[in-house]
Structure 1
Amino acid sequence: MPAFTFEKISPPARRAPAATTPKKPRGLISQMMDRVAERRARRALQDEGPMHQDDKPAE
């Protein structure tokens, strides 16, 4: 029987950053561009028409 034993010491707990910076609101131009791009993508999908299982996408 050993005369002494070793205890496993766990590493110190990580702390969360003390001061989290709030996200800056997106700029007006960025929001407008997102809206235009979203509408354009929707319109492109509508113009394409329904796709069937056998059809291959146009490349």
Structure 2
Amino acid sequence: MPAFTFEKISPPVRRAPAATLPKKPRGLISQMIDRFVERRARRALQRERAIRRDEKPAE
């Protein structure tokens, strides 16, 4: 006969979902990079539109 026994302990029940944690604000460097990328994407889109206009055959 064993001298002691192990008791199963269930994990604690979560009361609130994990999504309620506040988001950490983005860093200044990340914001600056986002601005540069957005401007570069806009310029590329404008150039692509200009190229497409030039490629259309005249009717």
TM-score with structure 2 setting the length: 0.51
Question: Does residue 1:16 correspond to 2:16, yes or no?
Answer: yes
User: What stretches of structure 1 move > 6 A for 4+ residues in a row?
Assistant: none
Larger helix fraction of residues:
2
* Cα RMSD for the two superposed structures: 2.9
Shift of 1:48: 1.1
1:1-59 equivalence runs, <5 A: 15-17=15-17, 20-49=20-49, 51=52
Q: How much has 1:15 moved relative to structure 2?
A: 4.8
Which runs of 5 or more residues in structure 2 are unaligned? 1-13
Give the total of aligned pairs: 39
- Structure 1: which 5+ runs fail to align? 1-13
